[in-house]
Amino acid sequence: MHPNALLLQRLFSSLNQHDHEAMAACYHSRATFTDIAFDLRGKEQIHAMWHMICQPDDHTSDIRAMFHVIHADDRSGWVNLIDDYTFSSTGRPVTNVIDSHFTFENDLIMRQRDFCDPRAWAAMALGGVRGLFAAQFHFLRSLKARQMLLRFVDKHSEYQSAFSSTQEKTA
């Protein structure tokens, strides 16, 4: 098995173990992460997100990931992923089907781009009118995700320097 396939297995196995430290160790210091809500720059911002997902409000989340590494070589990787979890803001169950695409540098993840159906996600996570708006408008999903992450970072000083310039812009 290619070493980057093992890296991707380690990333998602660590998610199932709620081990955000092990997940962060998979990323390059200049890594980027994007999905339907987040646009993160640097390992520390990505680590903060995974910490929030694994241990929101300092308790262990119920997230479970089923994944299959479709491809991994020296430059790129692709994982099919299904995340099952309770969306913390609403208490609603979510089954999110994701195509996760990666690029690698120096045996670490340099870029992760996750793709899923925003309409399906919003209907499960939010439902109703809120779900309709969130499905249609990326900026609403992004704003809400950013606010949740910054509230988390406010309680975790180890990540604050990674967000200091962006907090000033959003304040």
Mean pLDDT along residues 96-113 = 98
Are the CB atoms for 102 and 79 separated by under 8 Å? yes
Is 57's pLDDT higher than 80?
no
What pLDDT was estimated at residue 9? 98
In this prediction, residue 166 has a pLDDT band, given cuts at 50, 70 and 90, of: low
The more confident residue out of 1 and 170 is 1
Strand partners, 77: 72, 102
Dihedral pair phi/psi, residue 159, rounded to 5°: -105, -10
The more confident residue out of 167 and 55 is 55
- Residue 75: Cβ-neighbour burial (10 angstroms; 0-12, 13-18, 19+): exposed
What ranges do the domains of the chain cover?
3-160
In this prediction, residue 58 has a pLDDT band, given cuts at 50, 70 and 90, of: low
Q: How far apart are CA 166 and CA 150, in angstroms?
A: 9
Mean pLDDT along residues 153-163 = 92
Q: How far apart are CA 79 and CA 68, in angstroms?
A: 6
What pLDDT was estimated at residue 132? 83
Is 62's pLDDT higher than 70?
yes
Q: What is the pLDDT of residues 77-95, one digit of tens each?
A: 999 999 999 998 889 999 9
Is 100's pLDDT higher than 70?
yes
Q: From start to end of the chain, where are the E strands?
A: 27-34, 39-41, 64-72, 76-87, 92-105, 108-115
Which range is least confidently modeled, 9-13, 25-29, 112-116, 148-152? Answer: 148-152
Q: Domain 3-160 - what CATH class?
A: alpha beta
